[in-house]
Chain A
Amino acid sequence: MRRDRRRLVGMAYATPLAVIVAVLFLVPLGLVLWMSLHEWPLLGEPTLNLPDNYTAIAHNPLFFDAVWFTLTYTIIVTIVLFAAAFGLALLVQRHRPGVGLFRTAFFLPGAVGFATASLLFYGLLSRDLGPLNPILSALGVIDKPVSWISGSPKLAMGSSIGLVVWRFAGFNMLILLTGLQAIPEDVYEAARMDGAGRWQQFLRITLPLLRPTIALVLILMVTGSLLAFDQFYILTNGGPDNSTTSVVMVIVREAFTRFDLGSAAAVSVVVLATLILFNAMQLQMLRRGDRPEDR
């Protein structure tokens, strides 16, 4: 009797959450599938057109270019960002005077919104106002001003990566730091007693014990990069020549430039399916790293 009451009370506490998750998450998830089967203009009545939205994806050259670009970008940015975040985490791992200030300095860009950061870099890298060209030409690195954002596809990609590293390295550093500090000091001590050098300690202790954290950070980085939008919408505007148009930009363009919500929904469903598959694979890896004997 009392247990029944307690059960109801628990349900009552969970009700606001349940309502939000149902209305704003589960219903839209069903709706996007339903929409993808229809010709769904921004204004006006939807009509069933199965499977036109899906076959149209196959004839959309912009989509394939965007997929290729997004994958390339994801691989490069994940490697660079991970190296930066891990390097920073190792740098501020140990307690010493001033280390708190360093941690704060590295994390601070993460407090600023990503769109804000993109706008900041839009000015920072501009030829008109940006300090980069004057500094580099004073140092003699370049002999004429470079258009960092729109000069070439490679420069645009490089600028976006610079922005992402600046904005996200500190946040990922914090996660890695948590993992690093969870490794007990006596494990290292025992290894030192056995004559293990620094490099060996890193390879034999730090890396294996940190695997679950590394997996988590990589999942966050890869998912975030596959869904990249702000940096390309704001910083490079998809250019030059659509060379930095990401998959999410294609979705937004289908919906709000071409006013074709059905087609945007179909692309979204394809992205969702890919992400689920991908996350399932990653989770499998995570779980393997999470076996009790690895802890």
Chain B
Amino acid sequence: MRASTRRLGARTGYYTTTTALAILFLFPLVWAGWASVKPTPGSGQTVGYGLGNFANLWNYGQGLPTYLLNSVVVAVLSVIGTVVVSTLGGYAFARFRFRGHDLLFLATLAILMVPYPTLLIPLYVLLGWLGLQNSLVGLALVLMMFQLPFAVFIMRNSFEAVPRELDEAAMLDGCSSFAVLTRILLHAVRPGLVTVGLFAFLASWSDFVVPLILISAPDKLPLPVAVVSMQQRVFGSIDYSVLEAGVVVLAVPCIFLFLVLQRGYVRGFMSGSLRG
């Protein structure tokens, strides 16, 4: 009797503490959404609740559609690039032996070891030489490069977790190595693909430093840099409400995609990233 009362007390304590913490973690996100639509003097929304701040954001600078489109282009290019390159690379590392196998794997992981500003300063010059200055393609390529260590690692581990008998049987049936990859293995490594793709999206959609340094043309800026420039342009009174509207536009796609894909993401993350 007393033991069960104590257990009930412990359980209540646990749920109270954890719920309070969960609310604390969710509060800023909820607040940003609320602050972007609530009435605030001096903002785009002075009376009643409404989308006045979003209307201001829509018309800011080159216009929200331009920035959004830039962000979408960069995110899509770098997600596709990351998924394709890391899948092919992971397949090569897991299933083939070739000259430079270990060296290339180590060089890829070494990207993690090098501080990003050390690479961004020369990349700024290099992309200029390649004619990719102020180019969304150049930006996507660089963001993809920063994703590759994690992505290749996950994909190699995902392929290694698939039994070799599967490909050998298909090879005996006359499948080429590419057919083995596309027809059989891609299904088996789906959680890894989801993790890599989602991670690449979250990183490239939200990245700030890389475009800050590589892109200077106003019509090529992705959304995060554009919203931050709104904050730093004004002296004196800053319109915080429109900033929070920008935060909402930036955050909603990430939160949505994460909630939809989180099952696969967490599974891929746990099976791929920490084994190996």
Q: Which residues of A contact B (CB under 8 A)?
A: 6-11, 13-14, 16-18, 20-21, 24-29, 31-32, 35, 40, 88, 91-92, 98, 101-102, 104-109, 111-116, 119-124, 126, 128-131, 166, 169-170, 174-175, 178-179, 182, 213, 216, 226-227, 229-230, 234, 237, 248, 251-252, 255-256, 261, 264-265, 268-269, 271-272, 275-276, 279
Stretch at the interface among B1-9, B60-68, B251-259: B251-259
Q: Which residues of B contact A (CB under 8 A)?
A: 14-15, 17-19, 21-22, 25-26, 28-29, 31-32, 35, 40, 84-86, 88-89, 91-93, 95-101, 104, 107-108, 110-111, 113-119, 121-126, 141-142, 144-145, 148, 152, 177, 202, 205-209, 212-213, 224, 227-228, 231-232, 237-238, 240-241, 243-244, 246-247, 250-251, 254-255, 257-259, 262, 266, 269-270, 273-274
B104 & A18 in contact (Cβ 8 Å cutoff): yes
In the bound complex, residues from chain B placing their C-beta under 8 Å from that of A121 are 28
In the bound complex, residues from chain A placing their C-beta under 8 Å from that of B19 are 102
A216–B125 Cα gap in the complex (Å)?
A: 33
Cβ-defined partner of A10 (8 Å) among B92, B124, B208, B269: B92
* Beyond A13-B89, A111-B255, A123-B240, 4 extra complex contacts between A and B, CB < 8 Å: A14-B92, A14-B93, A251-B121, A272-B115
B247 & A120 in contact (Cβ 8 Å cutoff): yes
A113 & B254 in contact (Cβ 8 Å cutoff): yes
A252–B141 Cα gap in the complex (Å)?
A: 21
Cβ-defined partner of A112 (8 Å) among B118, B206, B237: B206
Q: Considering only CB atoms, which chain B residue lies closest to A11 in the complex? A: B98
A104–B25 Cα gap in the complex (Å)?
A: 10
In the bound complex, residues from chain B placing their C-beta under 8 Å from that of A111 are 202, 254-255, 257-258
B177 & A21 in contact (Cβ 8 Å cutoff): no
In the bound complex, residues from chain A placing their C-beta under 8 Å from that of B32 are 120, 123-124
Q: A17-B89, A108-B25, A113-B202 are in contact. Are A91 and B118 (CB under 8 A)?
A: no
A169–B24 Cα gap in the complex (Å)?
A: 12
Closest chain-B Cβ to A241's Cβ sits at a distance in Å of 18
A272 & B93 in contact (Cβ 8 Å cutoff): no
> Mostly helix, strand, loop or mixed at chain B's interface?
helix
Closest chain-B Cβ to A31's Cβ sits at a distance in Å of 4
Q: A21-B107, A131-B31 are in contact. Are A268 and B118 (CB under 8 A)?
A: yes
> Mostly helix, strand, loop or mixed at chain A's interface?
helix
A129 & B26 in contact (Cβ 8 Å cutoff): no
In the bound complex, residues from chain A placing their C-beta under 8 Å from that of B270 are 174, 178
Closest chain-B Cβ to A235's Cβ sits at a distance in Å of 10
Q: A104-B259, A268-B121 are in contact. Are A256 and B213 (CB under 8 A)?
A: yes
Cβ-defined partner of A275 (8 Å) among B101, B115, B208, B244: B115
Ordered nearest first, which 7 A-B pairs have the shortest CB separation?
A113-B206, A10-B96, A115-B208, A17-B89, A13-B92, A31-B122, A111-B258
B18 & A234 in contact (Cβ 8 Å cutoff): no
A21 & B148 in contact (Cβ 8 Å cutoff): yes
A20–B121 Cα gap in the complex (Å)?
A: 17
B96 & A6 in contact (Cβ 8 Å cutoff): yes
Closest chain-B Cβ to A38's Cβ sits at a distance in Å of 11
A131–B31 Cα gap in the complex (Å)?
A: 9
In the bound complex, residues from chain A placing their C-beta under 8 Å from that of B241 are 123, 129
Closest chain-B Cβ to A261's Cβ sits at a distance in Å of 6
Subset of 5 A-B contacts with CB under 8 Å: A7-B97, A116-B224, A123-B240, A166-B28, A265-B121
Cβ-defined partner of A16 (8 Å) among B85, B110, B224, B246: B85
B240 & A26 in contact (Cβ 8 Å cutoff): no
Q: Considering only CB atoms, which chain A residue lies closest to B241 in the complex? A: A129
Q: A24-B123, A113-B224 are in contact. Are A128 and B240 (CB under 8 A)?
A: yes
Cβ-defined partner of A106 (8 Å) among B22, B100, B148, B232: B22
Q: Considering only CB atoms, which chain B residue lies closest to A169 in the complex? A: B25
Closest chain-B Cβ to A186's Cβ sits at a distance in Å of 20
Q: A115-B207, A120-B28 are in contact. Are A7 and B99 (CB under 8 A)?
A: yes
In the bound complex, residues from chain B placing their C-beta under 8 Å from that of A92 are 18
B21 & A230 in contact (Cβ 8 Å cutoff): no
A159–B51 Cα gap in the complex (Å)?
A: 29
In the bound complex, residues from chain A placing their C-beta under 8 Å from that of B21 are 88, 91, 102, 106
Cβ-defined partner of B119 (8 Å) among A28, A169, A179, A248: A28
B115 & A102 in contact (Cβ 8 Å cutoff): no
B108 & A21 in contact (Cβ 8 Å cutoff): yes
In the bound complex, residues from chain B placing their C-beta under 8 Å from that of A27 are 122, 126
Q: Considering only CB atoms, which chain A residue lies closest to B22 in the complex? A: A105
In the bound complex, residues from chain B placing their C-beta under 8 Å from that of A230 are 208-209
B98 & A7 in contact (Cβ 8 Å cutoff): yes
A213–B144 Cα gap in the complex (Å)?
A: 26
In the bound complex, residues from chain B placing their C-beta under 8 Å from that of A276 are 113
In the bound complex, residues from chain B placing their C-beta under 8 Å from that of A35 are 121-122, 125
B29 & A108 in contact (Cβ 8 Å cutoff): yes
B247 & A170 in contact (Cβ 8 Å cutoff): no
Closest chain-B Cβ to A259's Cβ sits at a distance in Å of 12
B25 & A20 in contact (Cβ 8 Å cutoff): no
